[in-house]
């Protein structure tokens, strides 16, 4: 939060479900800034970012315009899934004291802040995030990059130190060690905990939330099987 408060543009990089979007919203609240989230995808256009004039010649404002002119925290969510050429339109907003919108050139408000959230470092797709696109180097250099990880203490708090959470933390470490195309998110941990409390079978919820059709040869690398399942059920 200190970097955002100083006026730095911050790129939060982390696995899915690490709370990047939630953190951005919390920072906006802590700094008493209006929050302007913008989802980014491969079909996002320049007009989505800077707005456009309608058939009557009236400008249709968007989040970036409002945050830049009047102050606020602007979030570029899923930033690395956007087209690199479109993202370059942000260069002026991220580093200069002005920004050209379709109907006027706007000086930057002193309380304008920008955060981007991504699953990769903007170098392009990988095995897990195949829909991510390589981003322009000049755009990336306008951000301070902060890598985010899952908050294990928060996950334990949310699940009241459930045995399932400890098991899933261990599973997450094994998945990372084997570089498998799976993820154990905070959301997964909470949902699995709730489902187990409702009497669902652990084997079932693991396939529903974690394995999700993964090849059996990958699953056996990280999951010890029935013995651990039975032990966990006794502990819950």
Task: State how beta strands 98-101 and 104-107 pair.
Answer: antiparallel
CATH number at residue 99: 3.40.50.300
| Residues 124 and 183 both lie in one domain | no
Distance between CA atoms of 71 and 108, rounded to whole angstroms? 8
- Per residue in 72-86, pLDDT tens? 999 999 999 999 988
Domain boundary among 147, 172, 191: 147
Calculate Rg over the CA atoms of the chain. 21
| Residues 89 and 167 both lie in one domain | no
| Residues 8 and 119 both lie in one domain | yes
pTM as predicted? 0.81
Query: Is residue 235 over pLDDT 80?
Result: no
Give SS3 for 185. coil
- The torsion angle over the Cα atoms of residues 39, 44, 45 and 49, rounded to 10 degrees, is 10
| Residues 190 and 212 both lie in one domain | yes
| Residues 120 and 168 both lie in one domain | no
| The two three-digit tokens of residue 160, written as one number | 């009241």
How many domains is the chain built from?
A: 2
- Per residue in 15-31, pLDDT tens? 888 889 999 999 999 99
Distance between CA atoms of 11 and 223, rounded to whole angstroms? 34
Distance between CA atoms of 201 and 57, rounded to whole angstroms? 59
Residue 130 CA to chain centroid, in angstroms? 15
By residue range, what is the domain housing residue 176? 152-235
- How sure is the predictor about 58, in pLDDT bands with cuts at 50, 70 and 90? very high
pLDDT of residue 212: 92
Share of the chain above pLDDT 70, in %: 95
| Residues 134 and 165 both lie in one domain | no
Domain boundary among 128, 147, 166: 147
Distance between CA atoms of 70 and 106, rounded to whole angstroms? 10
| The two three-digit tokens of residue 123, written as one number | 């170098």
């Amino acid at each position: 939060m200190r970097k955002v408060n100083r006026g730095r543009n911050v790129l939060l990089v982390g696995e899915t479900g690490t709370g990047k979007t939630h953190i951005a919203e919390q920072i906006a609240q802590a700094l008493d800034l209006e929050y302007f989230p913008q989802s980014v995808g491969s079909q996002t256009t320049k007009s989505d970012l800077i707005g456009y004039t309608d058939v009557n010649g009236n400008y249709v404002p968007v989040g970036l315009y409002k945050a830049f002119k009047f102050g606020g925290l602007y979030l570029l969510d899923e930033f690395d899934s956007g087209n690199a050429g479109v993202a370059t339109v942000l260069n002026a907003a991220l580093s200069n004291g002005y920004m050209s919108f379709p109907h006027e050139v706007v000086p930057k408000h002193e309380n304008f802040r920008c955060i981007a959230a991504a699953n990769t470092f903007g170098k392009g797709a990988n095995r897990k995030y195949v829909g991510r696109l390589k981003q322009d180097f000049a755009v990336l250099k306008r951000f301070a990059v902060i890598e985010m990880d899952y908050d294990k203490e928060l996950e334990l708090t949310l699940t009241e130190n459930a045995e399932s959470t400890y098991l899933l933390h261990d599973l997450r470490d094994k998945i990372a060690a084997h570089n498998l195309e799976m993820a154990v998110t905070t959301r997964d941990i909470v949902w699995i905990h709730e489902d187990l409390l409702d009497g669902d079978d652990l084997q079932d919820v693991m396939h529903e939330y974690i394995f999700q059709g993964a090849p059996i040869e990958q699953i056996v690398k990280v999951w010890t099987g029935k013995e651990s399942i039975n032990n966990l059920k006794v502990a819950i």
